[in-house]
Structure formats: C-alpha cells, structure tokens
Amino acid sequence: MKKKFTLFVIFCVFITAPACVFAGTAPQNWDKFEKKIRDNTIQKPRAKAFVKAMRPLLDSYYYAAACDTTPAVFVFPVEGYGPDSIGGKKGSGYIASRYDFFEGNKHSGHPAHDIFIRDRNHDLKDDRTGKPVRVLSASDGVVVSVNTGWEPGSEIRGGNTVWVYDPGVKGLYYYAHMDKISVKTGDIVNPGQELGTVGRTGKSAFPRRSATHLHFMFLYYGKDGTMKPENIYKSLTKRIRPVAREKNENTN
C-alpha cells in the first residue's frame, strides 16, 4: 500500500555557485539530482558531496513516513518469473568493471542482471498469459527517482526507470527499460508492490535484436558518498535481502 509523506525538508545544494538549485523533499531533491547525473550535467566532486549529504535525509524521510513493521523480505522483481529467467550462466551477465555511477548515461560495464520475459513478438505481453508483466519492488524503500516519457531515438540507455532507496540495507535498486510506471517520487513501497510493467524502453533495449527484459541493479550507498555496485545474484536466486555493509546501519 502506498503511503505519502507531506513533510517538506528544505535542502539546498550549490551545484553551480552561487545559485541554490534544489529545494523540496529529500526524494524530490534526489530525483532532480539523478537526472543531472543521467544527463552528465553535474561535476563529479559536487555530485559526490550531494550524495553524501543526502543519505541521512533519505533515511529520515523514510522512517518518518513508513508505518509497516513487518519483517524485511526480498521479492523477485518480475512477477510470474524466477531465477531461470536471469540472463547469462549463473548470473554471468553481471559485469561491474569500469562502472561509475557518476558517469550517468556514459557509464561503462553492466553491473546488473537482465531478467527476460516470454515475449517473442515484442508486444510487451507474456506469451502464455497475454498480459503485461508486472515489475515488483524487491524490498522496502522509498521511490527516489522516476524517469518516464522515453521515445525511440533518445540516447538515454535506461529508458523509463525507477530508483528505490532501501534504508535497511543502505542501497539503491534500479529498475530499467520499463514500459508503464505506476509509482511516483516520494512513494513508500513494500516488497512485492507494483512499480510498473516490463518494457522495451532505452537505446539498446528497443531494437528488435534485443529480447524484452528488466534491467535490475543494486548499488550500496556508502555514508561517505560512494555508490558501489553489488552482485546480488544470491539475493535473486535465494530471495534473501542484501545485507548492509556498514555495521549498525540496518536501523535508523
């Protein structure tokens, strides 16, 4: 069930001195920032400073808004599918080398798992059910960025995307190449909640040579502002929530 948090946290970051660019809730600020990262319009030192400053604000936003106290769980992010739909041999499609979050749309590597659906005719519907395939939130969290409106010809690689921050493990889940998106920035989501549907948006996902899939990535969000990709193949196959790297940071 979606929950809304109306308390506005004012937070300003000097992206281009001396103008104060961002003012709004923590997720709204992150959403604006993510688009600057995606479009490569922010310098890396300032981006890192922003990331470091934002984590405690995202934590505060989530814990003030979330009411669900059920045990933490992990859900496979594509409804009706399982580990056998993950591309590569035993997750070999995951390639983290040379990846840098701060390079945005120009990043290298493939620090993610592609989860393929049965869609031979590319109509964005499961060949067996004839219905769109839902993308589910893998864990608890807050939606910190949503990208919609991708059109063929765009150079944006992720297409329509959703970013969800999970404060329990201090990490970001990234869902890309989606078709429809059913959440908005600032929403609190629970494991198994619909985020949207699997699509073919994105520069490389749209061509006919590409099979319909969800691009799913997890980044650890360090308190020092680092954003490190983590291979969560085990989480996907065993349905186990990733473990927070930093001690005593699984609670507020």
Q: What is the pLDDT of residue 69?
A: 60
pLDDT in tens, 147-170: 999 999 999 999 999 999 999 999
pLDDT range class, residue 18, cuts 50, 70, 90: very low
DSSP string, the chain: --B---PPPP----SBTTB----S-HHHHHHHHHHHHHTT-S-HHHHHHHHHHHHHHHHHHHHHH----SPP----SBTT--GGGBSSSSSTT-B-TT--GGGGGG--SB-SEEEE---TT-SSS-TTT-SPPEEE-SSSEEEEEEE----TT---SS-EEEEEEETTTTEEEEEEEEEEE---TT-EE-TT-EEEEE---STTTSSTTSPPEEEEEEEEE-TTS-EEE---HHHHHHT-PPPPSSTT-S--
Segment 107-114 shows an average pLDDT of 96
Segment 177-188 shows an average pLDDT of 97
In a domain, 93, yes or no: yes
Query: What CATH number did the domain enclosing 142 receive?
Result: 2.70.70.10
Residue 110, domain extent: 83-238
pTM passes above 0.85 = yes
In a domain, 215, yes or no: yes
Q: What is the pLDDT of residue 24?
A: 87
- The structural domain count of the chain equals 1
pLDDT at 44 over 70: yes
In a domain, 196, yes or no: yes
In a domain, 96, yes or no: yes
In percent, the amount of the chain with pLDDT more than 90 equals 82
pLDDT at 199 over 70: yes
In a domain, 142, yes or no: yes
Q: What is the pLDDT of residue 70?
A: 64
